[in-house]
Amino acid sequence: MRIAIAGASGRMGKTLIEAVINHPACTLAGAFDLAGSPTLGRDAGDFMGTNTGVTITDSVEQALSNAQVLIDFTRPEGTLTHLVVCQQLGVKAVIGTTGFEADQKTAMAELAKKVAMVWSPNMAVGVNATFKLLEVAAKILSQGYDIEVIEAHHSKKVDAPSGTALRMGEVVAKALGTDLDTVGVFAREGITGERQPGTIGFSTIRGGDIVGDHTVLFAGLGERIEITHKSSSRMTYAQGSIRAAQFLMDKPTGLFDMQDVLGLSQLRL
């Protein structure tokens, strides 16, 4: 597979480049970043001491000109711009960007009518297995348990709660027969009164270099059940992204997620 990487100078971008270079079924076909990035004009593998023959550019079109798949973990506005170019050039896309607003998700779905893409707030295989476990747990613990989602990330993360935490809340809410917009509680301060039954609370931690920790707590009378996933390396996201790219190779159009990639959307437990 010929893969291009967006945000090539960032932490996730570098991890993706490393994963592509080291994967036997992948070739790095392009790398790009914002205008003004100090890495423009340099080889994409410089940070590894490797010569890839791919120069980091600020031209999306140039970076995608020889690519089959774009992997993008940037920002919503930039990702949507990149997807327009993907549509024009017939390049498939794997999107790990989070923080999309409702109208941006709609725009992405429209673009997916012309080009195949996988979008997931978390590409790690273990996290997506956790989503399935949460679905089962929520159905079993649907009565008598208060539900809280606690997430922690590094100090540079700009959106909160994380996309993974929100997806966890969505999975639980759907399993309970409701939706997160109705039952989600995202802030508590002052005299809040007693906790309302049936709500799903969120707590956000930001600090240091935490890659990503997520816990869903089911708190009942006399017991607590906690389902936790902890990431110690961004490489798990990169490896999942390559798996998603492989999934897309025979898909002409459509918007998929990692549950589709892993065959979990059809799994009934």
Residues designated catalytic: 153, 157
d(CA 131, CA 155): 25
Length of the chain equals: 269
Q: At what angle do helices 235-248 and 125-140 cross, to 10 degrees?
A: 90
CA 69 to chain centre: 16
